[in-house]
Structure 1
Amino acid sequence: MPDLCSPNRREAKRVQTALRLQECGLQLTLEKGFDGWTIDDLAVAADVSRRTVFNYFDGKADVVLGPGIEVDQAKVDAFVAGGPTGRLFDDLIELAHEAVRDRTDEHLISLLRDAVVTDPRLLALVHTRLEEAATGFAECVRQREGDDFPSLQSRLLLKLLLTFFDNALDRTAEDPDRTFSEHFDATVADARSALA
Protein backbone atom coordinates (compact mmCIF):
# COMPACT_ATOMS: atom_id res chain seq x y z
CA MET A 1 0.00 0.00 0.00
CA PRO A 2 1.44 3.44 -0.95
CA ASP A 3 2.44 5.84 1.80
CA LEU A 4 0.00 8.73 1.43
CA CYS A 5 1.94 10.82 3.92
CA SER A 6 5.23 10.69 2.04
CA PRO A 7 6.87 14.08 1.37
CA ASN A 8 6.50 13.61 -2.41
CA ARG A 9 2.75 13.01 -2.18
CA ARG A 10 2.29 15.92 0.22
CA GLU A 11 4.27 18.21 -2.05
CA ALA A 12 2.32 17.06 -5.12
CA LYS A 13 -0.95 17.71 -3.30
CA ARG A 14 0.31 21.13 -2.21
CA VAL A 15 1.22 22.04 -5.79
CA GLN A 16 -2.17 20.86 -7.07
CA THR A 17 -4.02 22.89 -4.44
CA ALA A 18 -2.00 26.02 -5.28
CA LEU A 19 -2.72 25.55 -8.99
CA ARG A 20 -6.44 25.06 -8.30
CA LEU A 21 -6.52 28.23 -6.20
CA GLN A 22 -4.73 30.18 -8.93
CA GLU A 23 -7.09 28.87 -11.60
CA CYS A 24 -10.14 29.80 -9.50
CA GLY A 25 -8.66 33.25 -8.86
CA LEU A 26 -8.09 33.77 -12.56
CA GLN A 27 -11.62 32.60 -13.40
CA LEU A 28 -13.06 35.00 -10.81
CA THR A 29 -10.94 37.80 -12.26
CA LEU A 30 -12.19 37.07 -15.77
CA GLU A 31 -15.80 37.01 -14.56
CA LYS A 32 -15.78 39.90 -12.07
CA GLY A 33 -12.54 41.81 -12.54
CA PHE A 34 -9.63 41.74 -10.12
CA ASP A 35 -11.34 44.07 -7.63
CA GLY A 36 -14.71 42.31 -7.99
CA TRP A 37 -14.05 39.32 -5.75
CA THR A 38 -12.70 38.57 -2.29
CA ILE A 39 -10.60 35.86 -0.69
CA ASP A 40 -13.85 34.52 0.78
CA ASP A 41 -15.25 34.24 -2.78
CA LEU A 42 -12.11 32.38 -3.80
CA ALA A 43 -12.37 29.97 -0.86
CA VAL A 44 -15.96 29.16 -1.83
CA ALA A 45 -15.06 28.73 -5.52
CA ALA A 46 -12.14 26.42 -4.70
CA ASP A 47 -14.04 24.59 -1.95
CA VAL A 48 -11.41 25.33 0.69
CA SER A 49 -11.31 27.43 3.85
CA ARG A 50 -10.15 31.03 3.90
CA ARG A 51 -7.30 29.86 6.11
CA THR A 52 -6.21 27.37 3.44
CA VAL A 53 -5.95 30.18 0.90
CA PHE A 54 -3.65 32.12 3.22
CA ASN A 55 -1.57 28.99 3.84
CA TYR A 56 -0.67 29.15 0.15
CA PHE A 57 -0.76 32.83 -0.77
CA ASP A 58 -0.28 36.20 0.91
CA GLY A 59 -3.13 37.90 -0.94
CA LYS A 60 -5.16 38.23 -4.13
CA ALA A 61 -2.29 39.38 -6.32
CA ASP A 62 -0.20 36.37 -5.35
CA VAL A 63 -3.13 34.04 -6.04
CA VAL A 64 -3.74 35.40 -9.52
CA LEU A 65 -0.12 35.96 -10.55
CA GLY A 66 1.17 32.79 -8.91
CA PRO A 67 4.49 32.52 -7.12
CA GLY A 68 7.13 35.15 -7.72
CA ILE A 69 9.93 34.56 -10.18
CA GLU A 70 12.65 32.48 -8.60
CA VAL A 71 15.84 31.08 -10.05
CA ASP A 72 17.97 28.37 -8.48
CA GLN A 73 20.81 30.06 -6.59
CA ALA A 74 23.39 27.82 -8.25
CA LYS A 75 22.24 29.11 -11.67
CA VAL A 76 22.45 32.71 -10.44
CA ASP A 77 25.95 32.08 -9.06
CA ALA A 78 27.03 30.53 -12.37
CA PHE A 79 25.68 33.56 -14.25
CA VAL A 80 27.40 36.06 -11.94
CA ALA A 81 30.66 34.10 -12.34
CA GLY A 82 30.44 34.55 -16.13
CA GLY A 83 28.72 31.36 -17.19
CA PRO A 84 27.39 29.25 -18.56
CA THR A 85 28.63 30.37 -22.03
CA GLY A 86 30.62 33.51 -21.26
CA ARG A 87 28.38 35.60 -23.54
CA LEU A 88 26.29 38.04 -21.49
CA PHE A 89 23.16 38.08 -23.64
CA ASP A 90 23.09 34.30 -24.12
CA ASP A 91 23.61 33.76 -20.41
CA LEU A 92 20.90 36.26 -19.53
CA ILE A 93 18.49 34.41 -21.85
CA GLU A 94 19.41 31.13 -20.14
CA LEU A 95 18.81 32.68 -16.71
CA ALA A 96 15.42 34.00 -17.85
CA HIS A 97 14.57 30.62 -19.32
CA GLU A 98 15.41 29.05 -15.97
CA ALA A 99 13.04 31.49 -14.24
CA VAL A 100 10.07 30.26 -16.28
CA ARG A 101 11.06 26.61 -16.63
CA ASP A 102 8.61 25.37 -13.97
CA ARG A 103 5.87 27.78 -15.05
CA THR A 104 4.63 25.78 -17.96
CA ASP A 105 0.97 25.21 -17.14
CA GLU A 106 -0.28 26.48 -20.48
CA HIS A 107 -3.90 26.68 -19.32
CA LEU A 108 -2.97 29.00 -16.45
CA ILE A 109 -0.70 31.06 -18.70
CA SER A 110 -3.57 31.50 -21.14
CA LEU A 111 -6.02 32.45 -18.38
CA LEU A 112 -3.51 34.91 -16.92
CA ARG A 113 -2.93 36.53 -20.28
CA ASP A 114 -6.69 36.86 -20.86
CA ALA A 115 -7.17 38.34 -17.39
CA VAL A 116 -4.29 40.79 -17.80
CA VAL A 117 -5.51 42.16 -21.14
CA THR A 118 -9.02 42.72 -19.78
CA ASP A 119 -8.22 44.17 -16.35
CA PRO A 120 -6.07 47.34 -16.07
CA ARG A 121 -5.51 46.82 -12.33
CA LEU A 122 -4.09 43.35 -12.95
CA LEU A 123 -1.97 44.70 -15.80
CA ALA A 124 -0.42 47.18 -13.35
CA LEU A 125 0.29 44.36 -10.87
CA VAL A 126 1.97 42.28 -13.58
CA HIS A 127 4.04 45.31 -14.60
CA THR A 128 5.14 45.76 -10.98
CA ARG A 129 6.10 42.10 -10.68
CA LEU A 130 8.06 42.21 -13.94
CA GLU A 131 9.85 45.38 -12.83
CA GLU A 132 10.85 43.63 -9.60
CA ALA A 133 12.17 40.68 -11.60
CA ALA A 134 14.01 43.03 -13.97
CA THR A 135 15.63 44.75 -10.98
CA GLY A 136 16.85 41.35 -9.78
CA PHE A 137 18.24 40.50 -13.21
CA ALA A 138 19.88 43.94 -13.42
CA GLU A 139 21.61 43.32 -10.10
CA CYS A 140 22.92 40.00 -11.45
CA VAL A 141 24.25 41.80 -14.54
CA ARG A 142 25.90 44.44 -12.32
CA GLN A 143 27.54 41.78 -10.15
CA ARG A 144 28.79 39.96 -13.24
CA GLU A 145 29.94 42.92 -15.31
CA GLY A 146 30.94 45.32 -12.53
CA ASP A 147 29.77 48.77 -11.52
CA ASP A 148 31.24 50.32 -14.67
CA PHE A 149 28.85 48.43 -16.96
CA PRO A 150 26.68 51.08 -18.68
CA SER A 151 23.26 51.30 -17.03
CA LEU A 152 21.61 52.20 -20.35
CA GLN A 153 22.95 49.00 -21.88
CA SER A 154 21.78 46.97 -18.89
CA ARG A 155 18.28 48.46 -19.13
CA LEU A 156 18.20 47.75 -22.87
CA LEU A 157 19.03 44.08 -22.28
CA LEU A 158 16.28 43.82 -19.68
CA LYS A 159 13.72 45.55 -21.89
CA LEU A 160 14.56 43.11 -24.66
CA LEU A 161 14.06 40.28 -22.21
CA LEU A 162 10.65 41.63 -21.16
CA THR A 163 9.72 42.00 -24.83
CA PHE A 164 10.63 38.34 -25.38
CA PHE A 165 8.36 37.33 -22.49
CA ASP A 166 5.53 39.45 -23.86
CA ASN A 167 5.92 38.02 -27.36
CA ALA A 168 6.03 34.47 -25.98
CA LEU A 169 2.74 35.16 -24.15
CA ASP A 170 1.17 36.36 -27.41
CA ARG A 171 2.43 33.27 -29.21
CA THR A 172 1.10 31.01 -26.46
CA ALA A 173 -2.35 32.56 -26.83
CA GLU A 174 -2.28 32.06 -30.59
CA ASP A 175 -0.78 28.55 -30.51
CA PRO A 176 -1.64 26.78 -27.23
CA ASP A 177 -0.40 23.44 -28.58
CA ARG A 178 3.19 24.51 -27.88
CA THR A 179 4.52 25.26 -24.41
CA PHE A 180 5.39 28.73 -23.18
CA SER A 181 9.04 27.68 -23.04
CA GLU A 182 8.92 26.61 -26.68
CA HIS A 183 7.38 29.95 -27.65
CA PHE A 184 10.00 31.78 -25.60
CA ASP A 185 12.75 29.89 -27.44
CA ALA A 186 11.12 30.65 -30.79
CA THR A 187 10.91 34.34 -29.89
CA VAL A 188 14.61 34.43 -29.05
CA ALA A 189 15.46 32.57 -32.28
CA ASP A 190 13.37 35.00 -34.34
CA ALA A 191 15.05 37.98 -32.68
CA ARG A 192 18.50 36.54 -33.35
CA SER A 193 17.56 35.91 -36.98
CA ALA A 194 16.18 39.42 -37.43
CA LEU A 195 19.28 41.02 -35.90
CA ALA A 196 21.82 38.80 -37.70
Structure 2
Amino acid sequence: MAESAKRDRAATSRRVTTCAMRLADERGLDGFTMDELAEAVGVSRRTLFNYFPGKVDAVLGEWPSLDDDDIDEFRAGGPEGDLLLDLRTLVLPLVQEDFADRELMAATQRVLRTTPKLLLAINERYEALSADIVEHVVAREGAAFGKTNARVAVIILAALFGAALESFVDDVRGHPFSHHFDQSLRTARTLLGA
Protein backbone atom coordinates (compact mmCIF):
# COMPACT_ATOMS: atom_id res chain seq x y z
CA MET A 1 0.00 0.00 0.00
CA ALA A 2 1.39 3.41 -0.95
CA GLU A 3 2.29 5.83 1.84
CA SER A 4 -0.45 8.29 0.85
CA ALA A 5 -3.04 5.51 0.91
CA LYS A 6 -1.83 4.45 4.37
CA ARG A 7 -2.09 8.03 5.60
CA ASP A 8 -5.59 8.39 4.13
CA ARG A 9 -6.68 5.12 5.74
CA ALA A 10 -5.22 6.16 9.10
CA ALA A 11 -6.94 9.56 8.88
CA THR A 12 -10.31 7.97 8.09
CA SER A 13 -9.85 5.46 10.89
CA ARG A 14 -9.13 8.27 13.37
CA ARG A 15 -12.15 10.21 12.09
CA VAL A 16 -14.38 7.16 12.63
CA THR A 17 -13.05 6.65 16.14
CA THR A 18 -13.41 10.33 17.04
CA CYS A 19 -17.02 10.40 15.83
CA ALA A 20 -17.80 7.09 17.53
CA MET A 21 -16.35 8.29 20.83
CA ARG A 22 -18.28 11.55 20.67
CA LEU A 23 -21.52 9.70 19.89
CA ALA A 24 -20.86 7.27 22.75
CA ASP A 25 -20.23 10.22 25.07
CA GLU A 26 -23.42 12.00 24.00
CA ARG A 27 -25.76 8.99 23.72
CA GLY A 28 -24.07 5.98 25.27
CA LEU A 29 -22.75 2.99 23.36
CA ASP A 30 -26.24 1.65 22.66
CA GLY A 31 -27.60 5.10 21.80
CA PHE A 32 -26.44 5.17 18.18
CA THR A 33 -26.31 2.82 15.24
CA MET A 34 -23.54 2.03 12.82
CA ASP A 35 -25.64 3.77 10.14
CA GLU A 36 -25.71 6.94 12.25
CA LEU A 37 -21.96 6.65 12.79
CA ALA A 38 -21.35 6.23 9.05
CA GLU A 39 -23.46 9.33 8.40
CA ALA A 40 -21.58 11.34 11.05
CA VAL A 41 -18.23 10.33 9.54
CA GLY A 42 -19.39 10.91 5.97
CA VAL A 43 -18.73 7.39 4.72
CA SER A 44 -20.94 4.55 3.59
CA ARG A 45 -21.96 1.78 5.96
CA ARG A 46 -19.93 -0.62 3.86
CA THR A 47 -16.83 1.56 4.13
CA LEU A 48 -17.34 1.82 7.88
CA PHE A 49 -17.39 -1.97 8.21
CA ASN A 50 -14.19 -2.15 6.17
CA TYR A 51 -12.56 -0.28 9.05
CA PHE A 52 -14.28 -1.72 12.12
CA PRO A 53 -16.51 -4.77 12.64
CA GLY A 54 -18.70 -3.10 15.27
CA LYS A 55 -19.26 -0.19 17.62
CA VAL A 56 -16.87 -1.31 20.35
CA ASP A 57 -13.97 -1.46 17.91
CA ALA A 58 -15.03 1.81 16.28
CA VAL A 59 -15.11 3.62 19.63
CA LEU A 60 -11.79 2.21 20.82
CA GLY A 61 -10.12 2.58 17.44
CA GLU A 62 -7.17 0.74 16.04
CA TRP A 63 -4.87 -0.36 18.82
CA PRO A 64 -1.37 1.00 18.24
CA SER A 65 1.60 -1.32 18.04
CA LEU A 66 5.16 -0.92 19.16
CA ASP A 67 7.67 0.06 16.50
CA ASP A 68 10.02 -2.79 15.56
CA ASP A 69 13.09 -0.53 15.56
CA ASP A 70 12.13 0.84 18.99
CA ILE A 71 11.72 -2.72 20.29
CA ASP A 72 15.16 -3.70 18.98
CA GLU A 73 16.76 -0.66 20.59
CA PHE A 74 14.93 -1.31 23.88
CA ARG A 75 15.93 -4.99 23.96
CA ALA A 76 19.54 -3.98 23.32
CA GLY A 77 19.47 -1.83 26.48
CA GLY A 78 18.77 1.55 24.97
CA PRO A 79 18.23 4.26 24.34
CA GLU A 80 19.22 5.60 27.80
CA GLY A 81 20.22 2.45 29.68
CA ASP A 82 17.59 3.15 32.36
CA LEU A 83 14.67 0.70 32.37
CA LEU A 84 11.89 3.15 33.26
CA LEU A 85 13.15 5.89 30.95
CA ASP A 86 13.53 3.39 28.15
CA LEU A 87 10.04 1.99 28.74
CA ARG A 88 8.79 5.56 28.48
CA THR A 89 10.58 5.97 25.16
CA LEU A 90 9.19 2.64 23.93
CA VAL A 91 5.52 3.31 24.72
CA LEU A 92 5.11 7.08 24.40
CA PRO A 93 4.83 6.99 20.58
CA LEU A 94 1.72 4.83 21.01
CA VAL A 95 -0.24 7.76 22.37
CA GLN A 96 1.37 10.94 21.05
CA GLU A 97 -0.94 11.51 18.09
CA ASP A 98 -4.12 10.37 19.82
CA PHE A 99 -3.53 12.56 22.86
CA ALA A 100 -3.70 15.94 21.20
CA ASP A 101 -7.36 16.67 21.91
CA ARG A 102 -8.03 17.17 25.63
CA GLU A 103 -11.77 17.35 25.11
CA LEU A 104 -11.77 14.01 23.31
CA MET A 105 -9.61 12.45 26.04
CA ALA A 106 -12.04 13.72 28.69
CA ALA A 107 -14.90 12.17 26.69
CA THR A 108 -12.95 8.94 26.46
CA GLN A 109 -12.53 8.86 30.22
CA ARG A 110 -16.26 9.47 30.76
CA VAL A 111 -17.26 6.80 28.28
CA LEU A 112 -14.88 4.20 29.68
CA ARG A 113 -16.05 4.88 33.25
CA THR A 114 -19.69 4.38 32.33
CA THR A 115 -19.54 1.57 29.77
CA PRO A 116 -18.44 -1.80 31.17
CA LYS A 117 -18.32 -3.40 27.71
CA LEU A 118 -15.77 -0.83 26.54
CA LEU A 119 -13.80 -1.04 29.76
CA LEU A 120 -13.57 -4.83 29.39
CA ALA A 121 -12.48 -4.54 25.74
CA ILE A 122 -9.80 -1.96 26.49
CA ASN A 123 -8.58 -4.04 29.43
CA GLU A 124 -8.17 -7.05 27.13
CA ARG A 125 -6.16 -4.93 24.71
CA TYR A 126 -4.06 -3.54 27.55
CA GLU A 127 -3.36 -7.03 28.89
CA ALA A 128 -2.12 -8.20 25.49
CA LEU A 129 0.14 -5.17 25.08
CA SER A 130 1.40 -5.53 28.66
CA ALA A 131 2.28 -9.19 28.08
CA ASP A 132 4.32 -8.17 25.03
CA ILE A 133 6.13 -5.46 26.97
CA VAL A 134 6.86 -7.86 29.83
CA GLU A 135 8.48 -10.22 27.33
CA HIS A 136 10.58 -7.37 25.95
CA VAL A 137 11.67 -6.38 29.47
CA VAL A 138 12.69 -9.97 30.30
CA ALA A 139 14.58 -10.23 27.00
CA ARG A 140 16.40 -7.00 27.82
CA GLU A 141 17.08 -7.52 31.51
CA GLY A 142 17.65 -11.27 31.42
CA ALA A 143 15.98 -14.31 32.94
CA ALA A 144 17.34 -13.50 36.40
CA PHE A 145 15.33 -10.26 36.38
CA GLY A 146 12.21 -12.38 35.89
CA LYS A 147 8.64 -11.86 34.78
CA THR A 148 7.48 -10.70 38.20
CA ASN A 149 9.86 -7.74 38.19
CA ALA A 150 9.00 -7.04 34.55
CA ARG A 151 5.29 -7.01 35.42
CA VAL A 152 5.95 -4.59 38.29
CA ALA A 153 7.76 -2.27 35.87
CA VAL A 154 4.83 -2.41 33.44
CA ILE A 155 2.30 -1.85 36.23
CA ILE A 156 4.27 1.21 37.36
CA LEU A 157 4.29 2.46 33.78
CA ALA A 158 0.50 1.99 33.53
CA ALA A 159 -0.05 3.84 36.80
CA LEU A 160 2.12 6.72 35.58
CA PHE A 161 0.13 6.75 32.35
CA GLY A 162 -3.14 7.02 34.29
CA ALA A 163 -1.84 9.86 36.48
CA ALA A 164 -0.47 11.68 33.43
CA LEU A 165 -3.78 11.33 31.61
CA GLU A 166 -5.66 12.94 34.51
CA SER A 167 -3.17 15.82 34.61
CA PHE A 168 -3.26 16.22 30.83
CA VAL A 169 -7.05 16.46 30.69
CA ASP A 170 -7.12 19.00 33.53
CA ASP A 171 -4.20 21.11 32.25
CA VAL A 172 -5.37 24.63 31.43
CA ARG A 173 -1.88 25.60 30.24
CA GLY A 174 -1.95 23.18 27.31
CA HIS A 175 1.16 21.12 27.98
CA PRO A 176 1.45 18.00 25.81
CA PHE A 177 0.79 14.55 27.25
CA SER A 178 4.53 13.78 27.26
CA HIS A 179 5.09 16.67 29.70
CA HIS A 180 2.60 15.15 32.14
CA PHE A 181 3.98 11.65 31.67
CA ASP A 182 7.51 12.88 32.37
CA GLN A 183 6.30 14.77 35.45
CA SER A 184 4.60 11.61 36.75
CA LEU A 185 7.78 9.65 36.10
CA ARG A 186 9.88 12.19 38.01
CA THR A 187 7.42 12.12 40.92
CA ALA A 188 7.46 8.30 41.04
CA ARG A 189 11.26 8.23 41.01
CA THR A 190 11.35 10.73 43.87
CA LEU A 191 8.77 8.80 45.89
CA LEU A 192 10.49 5.48 45.32
CA GLY A 193 13.95 6.91 45.91
CA ALA A 194 15.10 5.82 42.46
Which TM-score bucket, shorter chain as reference?
0.7 to 0.9
> Which residues in structure 2 correspond to 1:95-174 (within 5 Å)?
95-106=90-101, 107-174=103-170
On the 8 A contact 1:142/1:149 being kept in 2, the answer is yes
Indicate the SS of the match to 1:55.
helix
On the 8 A contact 1:164/1:187 being kept in 2, the answer is yes
RMSD, matched Cα: 2.2
Which blocks of at least 5 consecutive residues in structure 2 are unaligned? none
Aligned match of 1:55? 50
Indicate the SS of the match to 1:76.
helix
Query: What's the offset of the Cα at 1:25?
Result: 0.5
On the 8 A contact 1:110/1:172 being kept in 2, the answer is no
Query: What's the offset of the Cα at 1:13?
Result: 4.1
On the 8 A contact 1:69/1:133 being kept in 2, the answer is no
- Is residue 2:73 matched to residue 1:78? yes
The number of equivalent residue pairs is: 190
Amino acid at match of 1:129: R
Which blocks of at least 5 consecutive residues in structure 1 are unaligned? 1-5
Greater Cα shift, 45-54 or 156-165: 45-54
Indicate the SS of the match to 1:157.
helix
How far does the alpha carbon of each residue in 1:79-135 deviate from its partner, in whole angstroms, 9 at most, with x for none?
A: 111111222222112212232233333243232122112222212222112111111
Aligned match of 1:41? 36
Aligned match of 1:195? 192
Query: What's the offset of the Cα at 1:11?
Result: 4.9
- In the superposition, the TM-score normalised over structure 1's length comes to 0.85
CA distance in structure 1 between the aligned counterparts of 2:87 and 2:106, rounded to whole angstroms: 25
Query: What's the offset of the Cα at 1:68?
Result: 1.0
Aligned match of 2:26? 31
CA distance in structure 2 between the aligned counterparts of 1:151 and 1:123, rounded to whole angstroms: 25
Distance 1:7 1:150, change over 3 A: closer
How far does the alpha carbon of each residue in 1:54-89 deviate from its partner, in whole angstroms, 9 at most, with x for none?
A: 233343233212221212211100111111122222
CA distance in structure 2 between the aligned counterparts of 1:18 and 1:32, rounded to whole angstroms: 21
Question: Percent same amino acid at aligned positions?
Answer: 36
CA distance in structure 2 between the aligned counterparts of 1:89 and 1:135, rounded to whole angstroms: 16
Query: What's the offset of the Cα at 1:7?
Result: 5.2
Aligned match of 2:182? 185
